[in-house]
């Protein structure tokens, strides 16, 4: 039940973060000035191609937390990634494997397609490691394989990093 709740929250975040369409599945992004702790954005290698979140868009980077869920979202149009992490109180490594109730799930859109990629779908697997968690900042790494809602195979995301302010 918790994974389905996280998946729903992440899907909502992704749809809000996309903010537009267009272009092909060009995964390469340009960071417009990351500097300092909590301002490093999100990076990853997606199916072998480097990607970086854009800071040029006001809504491109978000980290928020409540008593139950921490959500991270990043965009570099036309691609978006959202990670939901269940309740943790400090550094931790969480499984994103399908059906594993260890409190982490990722959802991603790639290009202007309506295909959603998620670790909550059958075959999804991976980990997210939170290395820093304070009242003002979250940082860590992630790596995952996500399945699509359209049966389009597996999206491989490696070498993911995040460093965001709340």
Strand-strand pairing, 137-148 and 125-133: antiparallel
Q: Residue 155 has what pLDDT? A: 93
Mean pLDDT, range 26-40, rounded to an integer: 44
Q: Residue 57 has what pLDDT? A: 56
β-strand partners of 74: 61, 81
Q: What's the whole-model pTM score?
A: 0.77
Mean pLDDT, range 51-78, rounded to an integer: 79
Q: Exposed (0-12), middle (13-18) or buried (19+): which is 19, by Cβ within 10 Å?
A: middle
pLDDT tier, 1 (very low <50, low <70, confident <90, very high otherwise):
very low
pLDDT exceeds cutoff 70 at 69: yes
Measuring CA to CA, how many Å separate 17 from each of 32, 64, 68, 93?
Answer: 18, 13, 21, 25
Given the structure tokens 């389905």, which residue do they identify? 4
Given the structure tokens 């954005």, which residue do they identify? 41
Residue of 22 and 74 predicted with greater confidence:
74
Cis peptide before 61 (omega within 30 of 0): no
- 12-21, 109-118, 146-155 — which is least confidently predicted? 12-21
The tokens of 162 are what?
A: 């995040």
- 13-27, 99-113, 136-150, 151-165 — which is least confidently predicted? 13-27
Q: Exposed (0-12), middle (13-18) or buried (19+): which is 150, by Cβ within 10 Å?
A: exposed
Q: Outline where DSSP puts E strands in the chain.
A: 39-46, 49-52, 61-65, 70-76, 79-85, 92-95, 104-109, 116-118, 125-133, 137-148, 154-165
Mean pLDDT, range 55-83, rounded to an integer: 79
Q: Residue 93 has what pLDDT? A: 93
pLDDT exceeds cutoff 50 at 19: no
């Amino acid at each position: 039940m918790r994974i389905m709740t996280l998946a729903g929250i992440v899907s909502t975040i992704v749809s809000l973060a996309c903010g537009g369409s267009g272009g092909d599945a060009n995964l390469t992004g340009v960071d417009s000035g990351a500097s300092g702790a909590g301002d490093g954005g999100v990076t990853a290698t997606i199916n072998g191609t480097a990607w970086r979140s854009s800071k040029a868009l006001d809504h491109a980077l978000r980290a928020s937390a409540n008593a139950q869920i921490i959500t991270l979202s990043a965009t570099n149009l036309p691609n978006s990634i959202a990670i939901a992490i269940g309740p943790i109180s400090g550094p931790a490594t969480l499984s994103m494997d399908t059906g594993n109730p260890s409190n982490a799930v990722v959802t991603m859109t790639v290009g202007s397609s309506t295909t959603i990629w998620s670790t909550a779908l059958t075959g999804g697997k991976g980990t997210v490691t939170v290395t820093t968690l304070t009242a003002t900042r979250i940082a860590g790494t992630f790596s995952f394989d996500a399945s699509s809602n359209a049966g389009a195979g597996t999206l491989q995301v490696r070498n993911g990093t995040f460093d965001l302010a709340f």
